Structure 1
Amino acid sequence: MRFAIDSVRQLLGSLVVIGWSETGKPVLVVNGIEHQGASVPMPRPDVVDVFGESAGEWGWMAIFHVPEPIDLADGTVVAIRDGKQLHIVEITTVPLEQQMQASSIFVDFRQIIRDAQEGQAILEIGSRARSGISRRDMFVPKLKYVGLDIMAGPNVDVVGDAHNLPVELNNRFDFAFSASTFEHLLMPWKAALELNRALKPGGIAYIQSHQTWPIHEEPWDFFRFSKYAWTGLFNVHTGFEMVRADHWHNASVVPDFPVDALKGLGDQPAFMLSACIVRKIGDPLVIWAGNPAEIADLNYDHALPVTAV
């Protein structure tokens, strides 16, 4: 039986394997224990060139969910099960630092911050260090930093809702920053108007969210954003101009039960993250008086995880 593994990537709780095999299906073996994954067919014209037209059906992408990071060099192999026989495959990995390289759009924003004047102010929307991540050190001591979040906690200076920012923040900030928060806002267009109110004229904001990501923080998980979506929030009507938008960290959407209608879906472009840099050019031309709390319960209650002792 002919087969090959092209790449193995370990990222965000999953092992993603791309390869091809004449028969059989890929399995993951960790310390002698087999783990079944979901796989979808992938076109492989390179294999066809070598083995003929029938090899066009040999390609696949498989995803194995792994709850803890695994050492690919320690008791872990990717194999092909052909009937009752396992064929062990040599694997190569993509180093994590290569997988997680920052997008150039984030590099652009960091450069804007480096060029900022001492003492200018920045607002972070969604600053609570729920996962142990605080970005305060990215900005201080050069900038005056204010961290806002819907709940009190580590790295939070002001408790407030992005849909209705405290009036004390009006026209106070030269910059704003938000990461992995806008997908949790029921009305992000209202948050865009509120952000405009907090920024000074000419203020710059960097907003980052997800283009593809599993459902999380339920029931407060409302949106996903491609790089093309941001102009719907930040435009002349909301008082902004778009400086740049991008998406990055390649991903694959793989259904648990592939059917013919979804064939090749895993080979289509998808991205984990999406972001934009926008500039305030004036006051909004529109208003939004709707109150999100009248539509859904916004009393977010995801506290910090409790560490067992």
Structure 2
Amino acid sequence: MKAISLNGYTFYFECASKFHSFLIIKGLVHSQSGAAVSIASVELKGDGIQFQKSAIRAEENGNNFAYKFELEAISLSNGYHADMGVEIAIDGVKLFISIRDITAVLQHLDKDLGQQFLQHVNEAGKIKLLDIGGRARSGVLRADDFSTVETTVIDIVSDTGVDIVVDAHNMSSKLNKDEFDACMCISVFEHLIMPWKVVLEVNKVMKTGGVFLVATHQTVGLHDMPWDYYRFSDSAWDGLFNKFTGFEIVGRAMSGLNYITPFAWSADKNFAERACGYESSTVLVRKTGDSKLQWPVIASDLVDDNYPE
């Protein structure tokens, strides 16, 4: 758990989760001086709350004193927003922490890998960057973040910002061998029918020593069906990026904790919410050499429709 420091207290949050009209926030607080604390109440502040209850429990671990708290609320109008927050009456003082701040420390962001890649590319000088599937599908053209390099955007459909229309499974048919110094692929790998073939294609068009950033999902709802094929844990990357495919892994991370809860309750899933998944799974790799592997299968021989526009 990550922490928020406020008025001499440290707050750790386990979750701040919304499910339909139900909101639950769990956390722990202790005094930075090590002294015992006294919590009188924990309350969600904001408009539209129909019901709420809280539970507070003291904990002692050696010389450290802390309080665990749990807050549950119901808003029938689904009126939760980020400026709402938790008011904690502690040692005679009322402290307020917004939901926005709580969720910010809970997200365990994997921005470090993205920032590492961004910094590497922007400081490398006049290099060539390949963006796979980089059209502005969500209104964001990520190539714009790299102002100091020559960027080529490829995608399976023509759109704003796309330089070359080509299937990533066959990108080497339109790109030169060892052409690029770096490559990125954001929210695309789950939509590739053969991601291992795309890895081999990247190996062909990227220079040895070049870096490749992939960001995709480990747990997220199905989308863009039927072109949604895979999910990737942080341990899955070893099967794609290794000495045989010509890569080494520089770093990997998962972020955005999700509950996994069935639509239909059953006794054997009574504690399903104790399991978790991650919305994002990211890996940063470096090409170590040319791969000798081949995968002579064409994507169009497996799927006979086009990716949605």
Same fold at TM > 0.5: yes
Amino acid at match of 1:112: H
Quick check: 1:240–1:282 contact (8 Å CA) kept in 2?
Answer: yes
2:211 pairs with 1:204: yes
Quick check: 1:61–1:266 contact (8 Å CA) kept in 2?
Answer: no
Counterpart pick for 2:156 among 150, 163, 167: 150
Counterpart pick for 1:163 among 153, 169, 174: 169
Quick check: 2:110–2:254 contact (8 Å CA) kept in 1?
Answer: no
SS at match of 1:136: helix
2:266 pairs with 1:256: no
**1:168 and 1:33, CA in 2 relative to 1: closer, same or farther beyond 3 A?**
same
Quick check: 2:129–2:183 contact (8 Å CA) kept in 1?
Answer: yes
Counterpart pick for 1:242 among 242, 249, 270: 249
Q: Distance in 2 between matches of 1:62 and 1:274?
A: 31
More strand by share: 2
Aligned partner of 2:34 in structure 1 is: none
Once the two structures are TM-superposed, the CA of residue 110 in structure 1 deviates from its matched residue by 2.1
TM-score (norm 2): 0.70
Q: Distance in 1 between matches of 2:75 and 2:58?
A: 26
Q: Please list every run of 5 or more consecutive structure 2 residues that lacks an aligned counterpart in the other structure.
A: 1-12, 27-45, 60-69, 87-95
Quick check: 1:9–1:94 contact (8 Å CA) kept in 2?
Answer: no
Q: Deviations over 1:104-146 (max 9, x none)?
A: 2222222322331x21000000111111011112112x11001
Quick check: 1:7–1:92 contact (8 Å CA) kept in 2?
Answer: no
For this pair of structures, how many residues does the alignment match? 255
Q: Distance in 1 between matches of 2:191 and 2:219?
A: 14
Matches within 5 A, 1:268-279: 268-279=275-286
Amino acid at match of 1:71: H
Counterpart pick for 1:111 among 90, 101, 119: 119
Aligned partner of 2:81 in structure 1 is: 71
Q: Distance in 2 between matches of 1:216 and 1:135?
A: 21
Q: Please list every run of 5 or more consecutive structure 1 residues that lacks an aligned counterpart in the other structure.
A: 20-28, 35-43, 50-58, 78-89, 304-309
Q: Distance in 2 between matches of 1:201 and 1:91?
A: 48
Once the two structures are TM-superposed, the CA of residue 260 in structure 1 deviates from its matched residue by 2.5
Percent of aligned pairs with the same amino acid:
32
Quick check: 1:252–1:270 contact (8 Å CA) kept in 2?
Answer: yes
User: Considering only aligned residues, what root-mean-square deviation do their CA atoms show, in Å?
Assistant: 3.8
Quick check: 2:256–2:280 contact (8 Å CA) kept in 1?
Answer: yes
Quick check: 2:179–2:205 contact (8 Å CA) kept in 1?
Answer: yes
**1:72 and 1:249, CA in 2 relative to 1: closer, same or farther beyond 3 A?**
closer
Q: Distance in 1 between matches of 2:305 and 2:267?
A: 40
- Compare relative contact order (CA 8 Å, sep 6+) and give the higher one, 1 or 2: 1
Once the two structures are TM-superposed, the CA of residue 71 in structure 1 deviates from its matched residue by 3.3
TM-score (norm 1): 0.70
Matches within 5 A, 1:26-175: 71=81, 93-95=99-101, 97-98=104-105, 101-116=109-124, 118-140=125-147, 142-170=148-176, 171-175=178-182
Counterpart pick for 1:187 among 194, 197, 201: 194
Quick check: 2:130–2:183 contact (8 Å CA) kept in 1?
Answer: yes
